[in-house]
Amino acid sequence: MIKSLFSLRRSAVMLSLGLALVSGSQIPSKVFSQTTARVEGKVIRPAASTNFYSLFLAEIINEGLKELGYQVETTQQLQVALAHAAVASNDVDFLTAHWENLNYPMIVSNGGEERLERIGVLVDNTVQGYLIDKVTAEAHNIENLEQLRDPKIARLFDADGNGKADLVGCNPGWGCAAVTEHHLEAYELTDTVQFVQGEYDALIADTITRLQQGEPILAYAYSPHWAGAFLQPDENVVWLEVPFTTLPEEQADASQVNTLVNGRNLGFAVDRIRVVANAEYLRNNPVARRWLELVSIPIEDVNAQQKRVHDGEKAPEDIRRHALEWIEANRQLFDSWLDQVRQVAG
Amino acid sequence: MSDPVSIWDALLNPFDWVRIPFDSWVSTGIQFLVTHFRPIFQSVRLPINSLLRSFQHLLLNTPPTVVLGVLTASAWQLAGRQVGFFGFLALSLIGFVGAWQPAMVSLSLVLTAVVVCLLLGIPLGVLCARSDPFEKLLRPLLDAMQTLPVFVYLVPVVMLFGVGEAPGVIATVIYALPPLIRLTNLGIRQVPEEVVEAALAFGATPNQILWETQIPLAIPTILAGVNQTVLFALGMSVVTSMIAVPGLGLVVLRGLNGLNVGMAATGGLGILLLAILLDRVTQQVGQIDFQRTWYRRGPIGWGWKRWQRWQARDPH
């Protein structure tokens, strides 16, 4: 965690090493045939969050940037808040992990839209919400989060024996944690539900283990995420509805956002993952700007890739291979994006 | 493999030809433990949880002023007037910057971890001191506990014990136990040979030698071990906050994830002040004041003196 603070400092060394590797492993086809003269050799520095989906998206984007002639440096992986700060302070040029509603406060705290510009839609229609295991849901007829006000119902989900339901949620300080805290207050659940926070990946891994051992679970979940491979709505878990829509005021206007998924109110704004980039860089690089606007990947494809990550293909070179495979499978679409960008370049 | 090129290749790049599947062994092993023995591991949580609950009950459910008074008095009693005064200031500051509740949660976690460490560490340290083979056996294990990156065993801890306070205490114990075992072992081994021989000459049994000569003479070293264990345990609080352990560590993590420097600094200040206080208390306990017995020192001594005077007052 603290390391990520140093990694910016260390990046100079890493990059000089990384460049040698990256330039060695480039696919020689096309790179020299169709590059646009205006960007030949220009440097671009990508960043991803510490989540694997973000790195996967970055690798797909980087591949296109290389084909356009950019000199793409190694992707920096940073904590999501640090990554926003790094984009604002010009240490990296763009980030592939910005949730439009959820992470809006990070735009505000880093100098606003004139410094951090949000463009394109990497992944649309992301789903977030609270889910419980199907067995308990059917046995006790639980469909709505507010039913947890009943201490008897809440006690079903008590994992540590203090009489309160344990709601497993995401990292303290993330946008989703702020929403969950807000919800527990707004739906008057603070007496019966305890919000369990920590490193989400570790907590959700434990939750999945408990589900597989037949214990009741109550958790916040989002996609794209590898847990989606194990927590399958209507197979072994069910989404809970919320009694009414309410969100922290610094994030979104609750009357403006859509929180309905398949006609059920899950309480979270249906969000989009966008690129957030250094505004000044975008002004100077219309070609990169156009490319970042165009790239968009279906959420099903990201979820499929996340499952492969969880099955053990976790190394950076694995993620890179996933990206290359995705590009091969969608070559026509990818090439049509490239053609549109080249029109900008003239 | 028959053609000479690939033989050369195998000789020059043996790592490309032979691969020990260490990672999958570990994964399979842990997975096996999880599927068959997780409930057994889970049951370890119960005693830890009950100990933790009682500490938390004492520290969190009484009004802060009372807790502050009791903790100040304890520090004064254990470590003298100066440390008591420092404790009062440090704890007040923690309260006034708004970190009282997480600080008390952290303190109860540290106390629980230290109690578990004492129950395990002192006996193991004594065993080490009395048996060379046992020491040889334990030493690599202690090395591993101290050098393995915490994140490496955090994952199996979560898979076997789950998440929350009790698994957090278990991870903390793994990290904070070695210095206590090492220093207990060292303290007992450093008791001069002549003293032990003298005790033997007077006809002391091995148990009497242990309890009445070796341990009393090793106390300062053992307390140095306790001191290290306390500080290690507190230092773990930020790491364990990742597996849903509340307290000051979680305040720091929240500050880091939200890039809220002020919040992270508040948590850090709380950890620092608690660390200094616990360090001073555990260090001073070792320096026993031979001039006065325990009931003549600290707040108890102050009360005792007043009571003595009241007893000896003029009956007029």
Residues counted in chain B: 316
Q: State the count of interchain CB pairs (< 8 A) between A and B.
A: 85
| Total Cβ atoms within 10 A of residue B184 | 27
Of A173, A220, A179, A180, the C-alpha closest to A201 is A220
What kind and span of H or E run contains A99? strand A94-99
Overall residue count recorded for chain A in this entry? 346
Q: By mean pLDDT, which of A13-17, A135-139, A249-253, A339-343 is the weakest?
A: A13-17
Nearest residue on chain A to B243, alpha-carbon basis: A198
- DSSP codes of every residue in B137-148: HHHHHHHHHHHS
Residue with tokens 């005064």: B85
Residues with Cβ within 8 Å of residue B54, at least 6 apart in sequence: none
Q: Exposed (0-12), middle (13-18) or buried (19+): which is A179, by Cβ within 10 Å?
A: buried
- What one-character DSSP code corresponds to residue B304? H
Residue of chain B with shortest Cα separation from A49: B257
Question: Which of the residues A6, A78, A209 would you substitute to probe the B interface, choosing the one with the greatest number of B C-beta atoms within 10 Å?
Answer: A209
Q: Which of B34, B165, B241 sits opposite A209 (nearest CB)?
A: B34
Question: Closest-CA residue in chain B for A168?
Answer: B244
B248 vs chain A: nearest CA distance in angstroms? 12
Residue A100: strand, helix, or coil: coil
Phi, psi of A277 (to 5 degrees): -135, 160
Q: Which of A81, A106, A196 sits opposite B244 (nearest CB)?
A: A196
Would you write out chain B's pLDDT as a tens digit for each of its 316 residues?
A: 557 778 888 888 888 888 899 988 988 998 899 888 888 988 888 999 999 999 999 999 999 999 999 999 999 988 888 999 999 999 999 999 999 999 999 999 999 999 999 999 999 999 999 999 999 999 999 999 989 888 888 878 888 888 889 999 999 999 999 999 999 999 999 999 999 999 999 999 988 999 889 998 999 899 999 999 999 999 998 889 988 899 999 999 888 877 788 999 999 999 999 999 999 999 888 665 555 677 777 888 888 888 888 888 776 6
Closest-CA residue in chain A for B264?
A: A173
Are residues A315 and A160 in contact, defined by beta-carbon separation less than 8 angstroms? no
**B158 contacts A202? CB cut-off 8 A:** yes
Out of B34, B242, B258, whose CB is closest to A199? B242
Closest residue of chain A to B249, computed from CA coordinates: A198
What is the C-alpha separation between B239 and B241, in angstroms, rounded?
5
Question: Which residue in the set A162, A171, A205 is minimally distant from B158, CB to CB?
Answer: A205
Supply φ then ψ for residue A121, to 5 degrees: -135, 105
Chain segment A207-239, per-residue pLDDT in tens: 999 999 999 999 999 988 888 888 988 899 999
Q: Which two tokens stand for residue B202?
A: 């007077």
Three-class secondary structure of residue B31 per DSSP: helix
**Phi-psi domain of A69 (left: phi exceeds 0; alpha: psi -120 through 50; beta: other):** left
CB neighbourhood size of B308 (10 A): 11
> Is B38's CB within 8 Å of A213's CB?
yes
How many C-beta atoms surround the C-beta of residue B146 within 10 A?
A: 15
* Per-residue DSSP letter, B295: G
Which chain A residues touch B162 with a CB distance below 8 Å? 159, 206, 209-210
Q: Which amino acid is at B201?
A: A
Question: What residues have CB less than 8 Å from B27, skipping those under 6 apart?
Answer: none
- Which of B259, B261, B271 to mutate against chain A (most A CBs within 10 Å)? B259
CA distance A311 to A314: 8
The predicted structure's pLDDT at residue A346: 66
Banded model confidence at residue A2, pLDDT cuts 50, 70, 90: very low
Instruction: Please tell me whether residue A48 adopts helix, strand or coil conformation.
Output: strand
Chain A hits for B45, Cβ within 8 Å: 160
Task: Collect all residues from B whose CB is shorter than 8 A from any CB in A.
Answer: 34, 38, 45-46, 49, 53, 154-155, 158-159, 162-166, 238, 241-245, 250, 253-260
According to DSSP, the residues that pair with A43 across neighbouring strands are A71
A20 token code pair: 């040698």
Residues of chain A whose beta carbon is less than 8 angstroms from a beta carbon of chain B are 1, 79-82, 84-85, 106, 109, 159-162, 166, 168, 171-174, 177, 196-199, 202-203, 205-206, 209-210, 213
Nearest to B164 among A160, A172, A173 (CB): A160
